[in-house]
């Protein structure tokens, strides 16, 4: 036997003496995770024996310390199974959320002289896997500085992914999720989360994160160190301000726990939309009184159409609009306090053209409450939010829309939480714009009711990027993270060919597709984008008086990113059907066997036969159906469909 062979055998034998393998199954046993301590921590996820994903090189780099993650031994492991249900304050998807998982917490220590400790907490659900790290103080008093989280995700090179490349850590996370094969990824990519992956036509994954606290946001880059046939995606963390890509990402003087790293799993992409794994990984509601947190639709002033008119008649017109439609809110956007993003800005005083008390009284008489827009720098400067939030509570303001943060580094993440907690103390809901993706915090602080972080309808004002293909991709990608303030409601519907960037803003999908966004897109506080003159008395305006913004149940019977989606949501005893389509006209059949037995009246709004040429044309009809019925959903190019089912027997 050659000497080199003997050495290899000896090394493998030596490593295996120290390697430990820990299998963790999901409650049903369908998904299994196998953790290994050989070399760097690593694990493999399988479903029914099929390998889905490998997670490798689990560990960290620090400033002034050796890397950590290799040569760890397990001191203890604590196992438990949790099977519980809870009722969310804000029902984004379900009135009762099931939370069933198996958990193992590993306490580990290095064999090396440094003897640094690390905890690894793993939860395995029937619809995914989550893990997070806990790090401790070092032997030197003072802050430790994380420069990199080493964790990589290894997948087949031929797997398909939908990638939003943000290119910079300073952004409002407003980009398209573009489909490509993982092998087509370019060096330098900063892929935003959630990252949807099609391993094959029966295996869909999404890499996401949950419960981001005192830690930077997480992106995925291309790791050049990969094995044949595989692509490795490495963890990228947003650096602290002024540090740069290779600088410090997080500082901590005591212990720190990372956000949950989540791998969602489903046989179809629609199963991922139905999942509650992100909220389940967050803490229970911390607010003792939540009676003031009310979801609903809001009217929104001229900003979306590019015409800022900050005067009393304009604001009253939108308040009237909300009142006529039965919506609880009206949002007054930028310039209500005059000059913004300036040392002279005062977020406690309305512009001279506005009489705030008169507007508050006018809105109250119409059973409408007001929201106020704020520039983030004006909120933060001299801690202005403290006095302002107390004043807004006295005024009876319902919530604040805070804009232009455009970062998700550790300091910004902590700022979000400070603002959310302060707003809650003054009974204010929050809608962040120019924001990073949600992380399930709505469970803990339900006043954090929605946020942007999405390429939304307002981009139709100055680009041709808001296509039906994009609109049909974000439910399967960005929306997996949670609520998104897309601001639907454009009633100036035109074809793709006729679309132009102009004011007032046009939208390149059918009217029925626009209505469907109110069912399909998750946003308990839904901001309606268009002008009352474009809406009142028009086809579909009646539907907008009926559609809720929170839901007791959700079911996605059909759909594929960029092609089409059919979604069914229940509110009380009513069932709402929403469907959207790309540029290819489509006819679908929907079986109604999801309904409780009985007879139902279906009221639906669908594309007219000529909607491909005249997108504002809508057919409204009624139909009697039963649970054994199937209904036809006919959608034009860039079309849609909405329906409401009411039990009559």
Residue 214, by phi and psi: left (phi above 0), alpha (psi -120 to 50) or beta?
left
Q: Are 604 and 623 in contact (CB under 8 A)?
A: yes
pLDDT at 1: 39
Is pLDDT above 60 for 17? no
Which tokens belong to 460? 């139709």
CA–CA dist 33, 54 (Å, integer):
10
Which tokens belong to 265? 């799993």
pLDDT at 7: 39
Is pLDDT above 60 for 249? yes
Q: Which DSSP symbol is given to 614?
A: -
- Average pLDDT in the 347-375 region? 98
| Model confidence band, residue 261 (pLDDT cutoffs 50, 70, 90) | very high
Is pLDDT above 70 for 601? yes
pLDDT at 10: 40
pLDDT at 3: 44
Within a 10 A sphere around the Cβ of 410, how many other Cβ atoms? 26
Interval 116-135: pLDDT, tens? 999 999 999 999 999 999 99
CA–CA dist 413, 11 (Å, integer):
44
pLDDT at 66: 95
CA–CA dist 388, 473 (Å, integer):
38
| Model confidence band, residue 624 (pLDDT cutoffs 50, 70, 90) | very high
Is pLDDT above 50 for 2? no
109 closest CA partner among 134, 143, 132: 134
Query: What is the strand order of the sheet 329-332 is part of?
Result: 448-451, 429-432, 399-403, 369-375, 329-332, 296-300, 525-527
Q: Are 304 and 530 in contact (CB under 8 A)?
A: yes
pLDDT at 229: 86
Mean pLDDT of the chain: 95
Is pLDDT above 90 for 337? yes
Residues contacting residue 96 through CB under 8 Å, at least 6 positions apart: 85, 86, 87
The SS3 of residue 419 is helix
Percent of the chain with pLDDT over 90: 93
Positive/negative CA dihedral, 501, 504, 509, 515: positive
Confirm whether pTM is higher than 0.85.
Answer: yes
pLDDT at 14: 42
Q: Which residues of 598-617 are buried (b: 16+ CB within 10 A; e: fewer)?
A: eebebbbbbbbeebbebbbb
Q: Are 570 and 552 in contact (CB under 8 A)?
A: yes
CA distances from 450 to 96, 260, 435, 485 (A): 20, 20, 10, 6
Cα angle value 505/326/518 (rounded, 5°): 50
Exposure of 176 in the CB half-sphere (CA atoms within 13 A): 16
CA distances from 14 to 8, 21, 70, 495, 601 (A): 10, 15, 15, 67, 71
Q: Which DSSP symbol is given to 440?
A: S
pLDDT at 555: 98
Which tokens belong to 331? 């949002």
């Amino acid at each position: 036997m050659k000497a080199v062979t003997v050495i290899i055998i000896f090394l493998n034998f030596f490593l295996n003496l120290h390697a430990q393998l820990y299998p963790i199954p999901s409650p049903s046993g369908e998904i299994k995770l196998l953790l290994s301590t050989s070399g760097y921590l690593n694990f493999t996820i399988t479903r029914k024996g099929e390998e889905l994903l490998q997670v490798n090189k689990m560990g960290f780099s620090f400033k002034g310390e050796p890397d950590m993650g290799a040569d760890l031994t397990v001191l203890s492991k604590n196992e438990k199974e949790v099977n519980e249900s809870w009722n969310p304050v804000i029902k984004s998807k379900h009135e009762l959320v099931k939370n069933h998982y198996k958990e193992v917490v590993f306490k580990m220590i290095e064999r090396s002289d440094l003897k640094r400790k690390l905890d690894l907490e793993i939860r395995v659900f029937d619809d995914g896997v989550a893990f997070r790290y806990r790090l401790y103080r070092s032997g030197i008093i003072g802050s430790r500085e994380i420069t990199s989280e080493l964790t990589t995700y290894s997948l087949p090179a031929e797997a398909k992914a939908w990638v939003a490349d943000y290119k910079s850590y300073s952004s409002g996370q407003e980009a398209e999720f573009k489909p490509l094969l993982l092998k087509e990824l370019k060096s330098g990519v900063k892929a935003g989360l959630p990252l949807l992956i099609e391993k094959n036509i029966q295996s869909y994954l999404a890499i996401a994160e949950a419960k981001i606290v005192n830690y930077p946001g997480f992106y995925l880059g291309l790791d050049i160190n990969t094995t044949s046939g595989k692509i490795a995606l490495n963890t990228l963390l947003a650096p602290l301000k002024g540090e740069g890509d290779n600088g410090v990402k997080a500082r901590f003087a005591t212990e720190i726990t990372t956000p949950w790293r989540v791998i969602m799993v489903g046989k179809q992409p629609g199963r991922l939309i139905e999942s509650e794994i992100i909220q389940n990984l967050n803490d229970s509601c911390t607010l003792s009184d939540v009676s003031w947190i009310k979801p609903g639709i809001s009217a929104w002033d001229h900003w979306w159409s590019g015409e800022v008119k900050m005067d009393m008649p304009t604001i009253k017109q939108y308040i009237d609009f909300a009142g006529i439609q039965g919506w609880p809110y009206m949002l007054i956007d930028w310039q209500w306090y005059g000059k913004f993003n300036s040392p002279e800005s005062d977020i406690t005083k309305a512009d001279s053209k506005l009489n705030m008390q008169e507007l508050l009284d006018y809105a109250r008489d119409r059973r409408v409450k007001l929201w106020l827009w704020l520039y983030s720098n004006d909120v933060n400067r001299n801690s202005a939010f403290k006095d302002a939030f107390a004043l807004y509570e006295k005024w009876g303001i319902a919530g604040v829309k805070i804009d232009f943060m455009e970062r998700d580094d550790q300091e910004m993440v902590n700022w979000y939480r400070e603002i959310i907690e302060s707003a809650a103390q003054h009974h204010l809901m929050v809608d962040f714009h120019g924001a990073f993706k949600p992380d399930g915090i709505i469970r803990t602080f339900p006043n954090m009711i929605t946020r942007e972080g999405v390429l939304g309808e307002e981009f139709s004002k100055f680009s041709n990027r808001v296509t039906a293909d994009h609109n049909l991709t974000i439910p399967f990608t960005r929306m997996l993270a949670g609520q998104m303030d897309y601001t639907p409601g454009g009633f100036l519907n035109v074809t793709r060919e006729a679309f132009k960037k102009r004011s007032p803003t046009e939208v390149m999908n059918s009217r029925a597709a626009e209505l469907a966004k109110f069912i399909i897109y998750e946003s308990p506080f839904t901001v309606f984008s268009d002008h009352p003159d474009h809406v009142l008395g028009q086809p579909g305006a009646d539907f907008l008086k009926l559609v809720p913004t929170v839901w007791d149940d959700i079911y996605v019977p059909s759909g594929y990113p960029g092609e089409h989606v059919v979604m069914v949501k229940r509110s009380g005893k009513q069932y709402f059907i929403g469907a959207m389509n790309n540029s290819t006209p489509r006819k679908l059949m929907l079986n109604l066997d999801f309904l409780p037995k009985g007879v139902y009246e279906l009221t639906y709004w669908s594309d007219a036969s000529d909607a491909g040429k005249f997108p504002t044309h809508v057919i409204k009809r009624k139909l009697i159906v039963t649970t054994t019925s199937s209904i036809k959903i006919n959608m034009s190019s860039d079309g849609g469909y909405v329906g409401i089912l009411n039990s009559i027997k």
